[in-house]
Amino acid sequence: MMEKHRGFPSRLPGTDFQFTIRRPAKGTPPALRARERYADRRAPDRRADEGFLWALVQHFGDAPFLRGNLDAGRLSWLFGREVIPAEDPFDPESYDALLRIDMARARAAFPDIFDPDWAP
């Protein structure tokens, strides 16, 4: 069974950038893998990363959390940097995998989201 994070935004407001999934994948869940963020990424993609990390920080803070229904593609843009495994061994293909936010790296990469007046 896949944990659904109640109250977590399903997408970046006003866009089609998805943050959560509705149903588990048939078979094996998509694996989390670190995706390279190049400096020339489009501004909307960078904004989606910012909005997703903001939602993670607001919802979970620095506490470990289950992957659950969080979108694997969106998590993969942050995985290995701002979002890291919170357990060892870590199964990147499990909806029950524990993750946590590396707050120091999150503040360094996305300082604006820690401003109390910032919102997506």
Give backbone dihedrals phi and psi of 50, rounded to 5 degrees, phi first.
-60, -50
Give backbone dihedrals phi and psi of 101, rounded to 5 degrees, phi first.
-90, 130
Quick: pLDDT tens for 24-69: 888 889 999 999 998 888 999 999 999 999 999 999 999 999 999 9
> What global pTM score does this model have?
0.93
Other CB atoms within a 10 A radius of the CB of residue 90 amount to: 13
Domains in the chain: boundaries:
43-114
pLDDT at 2: 85
